[in-house]
Amino acid sequence: MLALLPYIEKAMVLANLTSSGYGSRKSAVESCFVWIAIGLFAVSYVFIIGGLGLFLVASYELPVAFMVIGLVILFTVLSALAATRLYKKMRARRVKQGVKSVADEATQILSAIGNEVGGAFKDNAALIAVMVAGIGFLAARKII
C-alpha cells in the first residue's frame, strides 16, 4: 500500500491543476482591478469620442462629423466583438488541450498503479472502491 503513495501524490497534484496551469483563478482584488480598468477605459473612450466630435464639428459640416464619429464607434464595436470571439476560441482550445492532458496523465497514473499493484485489485474490493472514488473525485474537479 505504501508503494501507492507517489501515485496518490501525483493524483492530488493533478486534481489541483486547472485547465491553464497552476493558480489560474483570479482573486477578488485582481477582479476589482480589472473592473476599475474597464471603467476607466469606458470613461476615456467617451472623452476621446467627445473631443473628436467637437473637433470635427469645428472643422467640418455636422453630417460629416456625425458620419466620422459613427464610423469610429462602429469600428470600435466590431474590433471588440472580433477580439471577444478570438479569445473564446483560444480559451476553448486551451480547455480542450487541458482536458486531453489531464486524461493522458490520469491514464498514465492508472496504468502505473495497475502495473505496480498487479493482483491486489482482484482480491481487495475495498481498494477498488477507493480507487473508483479517487477517479471520480479527479473527474469532478476537472469538470466543475
**For residue range 75-108, what is the model confidence (pLDDT) as tens digits?**
999 999 999 999 988 888 887 777 777 777 777 7
**For residue range 119-134, what is the model confidence (pLDDT) as tens digits?**
655 666 677 777 777 7
The set of cell numbers assigned to 117 is 499493484
pLDDT at residue 51, as a whole number:
92
Q: What is the pTM of this model?
A: 0.49
Q: Which residues span the domain enclosing 42?
A: 2-143
Which of the four pLDDT bands, split at 50, 70 and 90, describes residue 137?
confident
Q: Count up the domains in the chain and report the number.
A: 1
Computed from CA positions of residues 111, 117, 123, 125, in that sequence, does the dihedral angle turn out positive or negative?
negative
**For residue range 48-83, what is the model confidence (pLDDT) as tens digits?**
999 999 999 999 998 999 999 999 999 999 999 999
Quote the longest CA-to-CA distance of the chain: 89
The set of cell numbers assigned to 139 is 473527474
